[in-house]
Amino acid sequence: MFEYCADPGSLDSLQWWSCYLTTVKQVMFYKSFGTVLALLFLTAPVILLFGFGGAMARRSRVLPLRWFGLAYSSMVRGIPDIIFFMFALIALDQGIEYIRHITLCPDWTEPVRQGNDFVVCPQAKMPLSSAPQWVHQIYGFFLAVIGFAFVFGAFAANTLYGAFQAVPHAQLETAAAFGMSRAKMFRRILLPQMWVYALPGLSNLWMILIKATPLLFLLGVQDIVYWAKELGGAKTARFTYPHGDWRLGYFLVLLVFYLALTWLSERVFERLTRRVSRGQATMGGTT
């Protein structure tokens, strides 16, 4: 970045650090913090969407739909996250490629399954081998959002279902006696009070989601843990900026980042809890 960085071996301490901290890989490390934050804030609404869908399915009067909601919220929670990412998202990726394969290459005669290999025509690859690196990163990030949303949506569905059940049933009976429709009872009584019971569980789920972000590397996304390990490892004299094993320092930076993010999240959820509890006749609010 700086002109004097052309010959790192001749730099003094301060200039050496200014050059080292502005290398391309270091900038990628800084950007990876944004990748983690983007994953969190883009995935959270999708998680709530999956969660509401699962919770409403479990509350449905239609038996098959209720079974589906129960299966989703129970079975997915029982699968370790790393197994899900290694199996389900690979299956999703191959499913997309297979659909593209039969659409774009109808004349292809070779089998797609060749032993342990999954072979599709070059036009069906996702993304294309000729695509720039940022396209591969975006595609991996997209799979990550879907994967995190599907897994944590099951936990959210269970939390939201329990919150719906916790709202005092007597209030719903009173509303029905006054002639309220089911939709109006849901909008005016059930939904506002449900949040009081749901937020503690959702806050814990958010914390777990924060801790799960290092799983991004399984999908080929270069996250902060990847770059901390890459940059912190010992570099010999054949590197432009040789140094010892600095992984401890890099991981201390990650420790501070995650602790700060956790502390800020706790403050936000505390304010949300006070806000949704205001005026609610529940154990979390005032009468």
CB burial string 181-199: b at 16+ within 10 A, e below:
eeeebbeebbebbbbbbbb
Full domain range(s) for residue 75: 3-277
CA atoms within 13 A on the CB side of 83: 5
Q: Is residue 285 situated within a structural domain?
A: no
- The number of residues making up the chain comes to 287
Q: Is residue 284 situated within a structural domain?
A: no
Q: Is residue 287 situated within a structural domain?
A: no
The enclosing domain of 184 has a CATH number of 1.10.3720.10
Distance (Å, whole) CA 33 – CA 20: 18
Tens digit of each residue's pLDDT, the chain (287 residues): 666 677 766 667 788 788 888 888 888 889 989 989 999 999 999 999 999 999 999 888 888 898 988 888 887 777 777 777 777 777 888 888 888 888 888 888 888 887 777 888 888 888 877 778 778 888 888 888 888 888 889 899 999 999 888 888 888 788 888 888 888 888 888 888 888 899 999 999 999 899 888 877 767 777 888 888 888 888 877 777 788 888 889 999 999 999 999 999 999 999 988 888 776 655 444 44
Q: Is residue 100 situated within a structural domain?
A: yes
Number of domains in the chain: 1
Residue 216 sits at the vertex; the CA angle it makes with 211 and 221, to the nearest 5 degrees, is: 145
What tokens does 279 get? 């005026």
